[in-house]
Amino acid sequence: MSVEGDRLSVRAKYTLLAAITVALLALTVAAAEIAIRVRQTLKYGSHARVEEYYTHDEKSGLRVPIAGLKLGKIEVNSLGFRGPEIKTPKPDGTVRIAFLGASTTWCAEVSSNSKVWAHLVTEGLQQANPAVRLDYVNGGVSGFGVDASLRNLQHRVAPLQPDIVVIYHATNDMSSELRAVAAARGVAASASVRSESWLARQSLLWNLAEKNWRIWQAQRDADSNVGRLEVDAETLGEPFRKDLTELVLAAKRAAKVVALATFSTQLRIEQSAEDKRRASASAMYYMPFMHPDGLIASYRRYNQVIREVAAATGAVLIDGEDTIPGDSRHFTDTVHFTDAGSERMAVRVRDALSGNEAVRSVLRSVVAKNAAPR
């Protein structure tokens, strides 16, 4: 064989080797992508992205759940709320509970509709009050702040005639306020959450890698105190107070009883530095300029505002946010519940409602109405 032929042969071998290497890498990436999708499907019943559960509602201008959707372990009724079907108009002799909140009320992380804390609260109250028919509306929608819940109440929930409204909000409003403060002080480039890359929107593998990278960067900077937002937590929460007060007053016009629940997180002041680092991971994705101790102080401040709004408006206060243990058995991340966490949340809400005289009065009046001759 000629020298030129030998060179072509060597070049062909290297080309083949490169092609095989690229093919193996592609297969490895594809296998990893499939594995992540299978794992997510096994864990949540679907590998769908969050936006696949929602559509735009022209009347309210909100992003709302797709009516009648059944995707994995999540089922949405024909009215566009996660949970079982309810009758409209509300039947006589029925006590209807509406729950307003965000992703921590929607509860995508729990194993089924029957493990959502709104469902468990209603189920528990029904068992304790067999003479009354109870149903519920889960008005929680991922990403909602208090202002969106107000529109949700006005356009979608109030027409369903709730007797009791339970409100569970804090983290999205807090995150929005802190990002605005960080942007105003030049600590963050903007008040918006940094958008995902195009590749992250196409690939679950890349999405997970990108999120973990951003969290790692935020935690690294927090450890070195680089680019941290230093804020007095006592100065926070005034926009939240205003919006929450407006929501409570609107809910009181729509229902007989309104209850406000303080907000539970996995983060606790008594945790070790490593436990705080782990528990704050998802919050750091949205607020990469924060330190875990700053997050703890900010959540504490928002809970203080919730208590003050409840006192000022006469709403029922559902306290005891720390009765849900701050660990990975009860939380999937900083704020979202596992099945066990959802069950503990349901207990604190159910017990607070059961022990409230205004709630008992609503139940008694319906029992009396049901017992009256027709």
Burial class (CB in 10 A: 0-12, 13-18, 19+), 209: middle
pLDDT of residue 44: 61
Residue 53 falls inside a structural domain:
no
Residues 223 and 271 in one domain: yes
pLDDT of residue 2: 57
- Residue with token string 């369903």: 160
pLDDT of residue 221: 75
Q: Which residues contact 56 (CB under 8 A, 6 or more apart)?
A: 62, 63, 64
Residues 220, 228: Cα–Cα separation, whole Å: 11
- Residue with token string 């720390």: 322
Q: What is the mean pLDDT of each run of 10 residues along the chain (374 residues)?
A: 59 76 73 65 61 90 96 95 97 96 97 97 97 97 97 98 98 98 93 76 69 76 80 97 98 98 98 96 94 97 98 98 98 98 98 97 90 71
Q: What are phi and psi of 31, to 5 degrees?
A: -65, -40
Residues 218 and 182 in one domain: yes
Query: Token pair for residue 304?
Result: 């203080």
Residue 51 falls inside a structural domain:
no
Residues 170 and 117 in one domain: yes
Residue 50 falls inside a structural domain:
no
CB 214 within 8 A of CB 194: yes
| pTM for this entry | 0.90
Give a three-class secondary structure readout of the chain: CCHHHHHHHHHHHHHHHHHHHHHHHHHHHHHHHHHHHHHHHHHHCCCCCHHHHEEEECCCCEEEECCCCEECCEEECCCCCECCCCCCCCCCCEEEEEEEECHHHHCCCCCCHHHCHHHHHHHHHHHHCCCCEEEEEECCCCCCCHHHHHHHHHHHHHHHCCCEEEEECCHHHHHHHHHHHHHHCCCCCCCCCCCCCHHHHHCHHHHHHHHHHHHHHHHHHHHHCCCCCCCCHHHCCHHHHHHHHHHHHHHHHHCCEEEEECCCCCCCCCCCHHHHHHHCHHHHHHCCCCCHHHHHHHHHHHHHHHHHHHHHHCCEEECCHHHCCCCCCCECCCCCECHHHHHHHHHHHHHHHHCCHHHHHHHHHHHHHHHCCC
pLDDT of residue 7: 56
Residues 248 and 333 in one domain: yes
Number of domains observed in the structure of the chain: 2
CB 269 within 8 A of CB 157: no
Residues 40 and 64 in one domain: no
Query: Token pair for residue 338?
Result: 């596992």
- Residue with token string 């709004």: 309
Residues 130 and 268 in one domain: yes
pLDDT of residue 374: 62
pLDDT of residue 220: 80
Residues 23 and 115 in one domain: no
Query: Token pair for residue 346?
Result: 């349901």
Its domain, for residue 28, covers 1-44
Query: Token pair for residue 88?
Result: 């409209």
Residue 328 falls inside a structural domain:
yes
Residue 178 falls inside a structural domain:
yes
Residues 352, 356: Cα–Cα separation, whole Å: 6
Which CATH number fits the domain that encloses residue 366? 3.40.50.1110
Residues 8 and 87 in one domain: no
Residues 203, 218: Cα–Cα separation, whole Å: 23
Residue 52 falls inside a structural domain:
no
Q: Which residues contact 241 (CB under 8 A, 6 or more apart)?
A: 305, 308, 309
Residues 89 and 195 in one domain: yes
Residues 250 and 160 in one domain: yes
pLDDT of residue 244: 98
Q: Which residues contact 351 (CB under 8 A, 6 or more apart)?
A: none
Residues 21 and 98 in one domain: no
Residues 201 and 321 in one domain: yes
Measuring CA to CA, which residue among 78, 66, 191, 73 is closest to residue 141? 66
pLDDT of residue 49: 65
